[in-house]
């Protein structure tokens, strides 16, 4: 399924930058705005050089006005543009929630299908940068809860590029979550002249295994893959699956895997209560209950405001060790 990559490796940040450039080159209605995305190239340098390439008619630095950033995108999307806007930190989505939840998500439905809202909100998730409670949350479950929004969580440069291109071409509002800690992670990506996209709603089996299924999202995929390598040394073959999009969710691939392995751990960086791990665990319980040898288990963020001190923050999100310990327990179970 993957394209030939010719050994070229780029970072997640570069992959996202390429996706935006290619789509802006392909469709003049794609425009970009957000706080510091132009001249500065974004606080994480993800949009570096795009202003120079496409000019101030299509790339704008905005005031610090998240509701306005997202709300203007809704109006622009309804009238012929395809805005790609950045909300600098996922924590700031709270400021734009009315525009996302009550406006963008509902306009197509409320208007009886007459208006479409093709827009992408790029934002971040993830802890681990010592930035405390208002710059470290993973709030993707908030938007995944709302019908009308699509929610994407890439884990690799290859996936990020292909999924973002799909997001920009999609005729619906898409919230695209990038794990800050992954921006400098490198991976194979095809040359820029090879146009590829990744369809939404197609989970990717990142590693095959027969003893245990680990369903992991975003950077937790890498935790799961490292855990799977360690488990393999102990004779446990874990299958690692990345849903890649929460909405739409490829439940079939997840369920098929659990039916094969009989054990399932769900790992996600959002809060464990009422979140992504709960939803996927419920799905597994409903659709693969009789295949399970042991109850499905979850690893999410601890239900606490993310603390500043490294000694405390490191206790809040799932780790390779926590996955390994749980896997052993379940296989022994």
Partner 1 sequence: MKTKGPKPSAEIGVEKLTDMYSQMVTIRLFEERVVELYRRAQIPGIAHVSIGQEAVPVGICNALRTNDYITSTHRGHAHCLAKGADITQMFAELFGKVTGYCRGKGGSMHIANPATGNLGANAIVGGSIPIATGAALSAKLRKTNQVAVCFFGDGALNQGVLLESMNFASIWRLPVIYVCENNQYGEYTPTKRVTAGDIEMRGKALDIRTAVADGMDVLAVYDAACEAVDHAKSGKGPSFLVMETYRFIGHGMSDVDRAYRTREEEQEWQRARDPIDRLRTTLIEEWRLKQSALDAISSGVAKQIDISVEAAQKAPLPAAEELMKHVYAD
Dist. CA 295–CA 330, nearest whole Å: 8
Q: To the nearest whole angstrom, how small is the minimum distance from the Cβ of residue 174 to partner 1? A: 10
User: Catalytic one among 22, 108, 135, 222?
Assistant: 135
Contact call for residue 145 and partner 1 (CB under 8 A): no
- Given 81, 141, 181, 326, the residue binding partner 1 (CB under 8 A): 81
Contact call for residue 289 and partner 1 (CB under 8 A): no
Catalytic, 135? Answer yes
Q: Give me the phi and psi of 294, to 5 degrees please.
A: -135, 160
User: Of 39-47, 107-115, 236-244, 264-272, which segment contacts partner 1 by CB under 8 A?
Assistant: 107-115
Contact call for residue 34 and partner 1 (CB under 8 A): no
Three-state secondary-structure class, residue 322 = helix
Dist. CA 70–CA 84, nearest whole Å: 10
Contact call for residue 21 and partner 1 (CB under 8 A): no
- Given 68, 128, 188, 295, the residue binding partner 1 (CB under 8 A): 68
Catalytic, 286? Answer no
141, containing H or E segment: helix 140-144
Q: To the nearest whole angstrom, how small is the minimum distance from the Cβ of residue 57 to partner 1? A: 7
- Given 2, 4, 6, 111, the residue binding partner 1 (CB under 8 A): 111
Please report, to the nearest 10 degrees, the dihedral formed by the alpha carbons of residues 61, 67, 68, 73 taken in order.
90
Contact call for residue 108 and partner 1 (CB under 8 A): yes
Q: Which residues of 33-62 are buried (b: 16+ CB within 10 A; e: fewer)?
A: bbbbbbeebbbbebbeebbeebeeebbbeb
- Given 19, 24, 72, 225, the residue binding partner 1 (CB under 8 A): 72
Dist. CA 28–CA 40, nearest whole Å: 22
Q: Residue 99 in contact with residue 67, Cβ under 8 Å?
A: yes
Dist. CA 80–CA 77, nearest whole Å: 6
Contact call for residue 58 and partner 1 (CB under 8 A): yes
Which residue ranges make up the site for partner 1 (CB under 8 A)? 31, 57-58, 60, 62-63, 65, 67-68, 70-81, 83, 98-99, 102-103, 107-118, 147-148, 150, 171-172
Active site positions, annotated: 66, 135
């Amino acid at each position: 399924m993957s394209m030939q990559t010719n050994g070229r490796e780029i970072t997640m940040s570069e992959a996202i930058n390429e996706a935006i450039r290619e789509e802006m080159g392909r469709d003049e209605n794609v425009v970009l705005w957000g706080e510091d995305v132009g001249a500065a190239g974004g606080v994480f340098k993800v949009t570096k050089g795009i202003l120079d390439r496409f000019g101030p008619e299509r790339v704008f630095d905005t005031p610090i006005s998240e509701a306005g950033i997202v709300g203007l995108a809704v109006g622009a999307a309804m009238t012929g543009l395809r805005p790609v806007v950045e909300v600098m930190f996922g924590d700031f989505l709270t400021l734009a929630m009315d525009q996302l939840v009550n406006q963008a998500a509902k306009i197509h439905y409320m208007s009886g299908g007459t208006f479409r809202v093709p827009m992408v909100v790029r934002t971040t998730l993830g802890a681990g940068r010592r930035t405390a409670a208002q710059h470290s949350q993973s709030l993707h479950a908030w938007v995944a809860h709302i019908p009308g929004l699509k929610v994407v969580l890439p884990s690799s440069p290859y996936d990020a590029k292909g999924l973002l291109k799909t997001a920009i071409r999609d005729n619906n509002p898409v919230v695209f979550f990038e794990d800050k800690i992954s921006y400098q992670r490198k991976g194979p990506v095809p040359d820029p002249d090879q146009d590829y996209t990744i369809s939404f709603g197609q989970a990717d089996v990142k590693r095959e295994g027969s003893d245990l299924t680990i369903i992991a999202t975003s950077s937790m995929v890498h935790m799961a893959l490292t855990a799977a390598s360690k488990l393999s040394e102990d004779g446990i073959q874990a299958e690692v699956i990345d849903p890649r999009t929460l909405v739409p969710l490829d439940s079939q691939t997840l369920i098929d895997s659990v039916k094969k392995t009989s054990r399932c751990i769900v790992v996600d960086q959002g809060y464990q209560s009422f979140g992504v791990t709960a939803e996927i665990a419920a799905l597994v319980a409903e659709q693969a209950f009789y295949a399970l040898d042991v109850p499905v288990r979850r690893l999410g963020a601890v239900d606490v405001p993310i603390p500043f001190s490294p000694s405390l923050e490191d206790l809040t999100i799932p780790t390779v060790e926590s996955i390994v310990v749980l896997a052993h327990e379940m296989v022994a179970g």
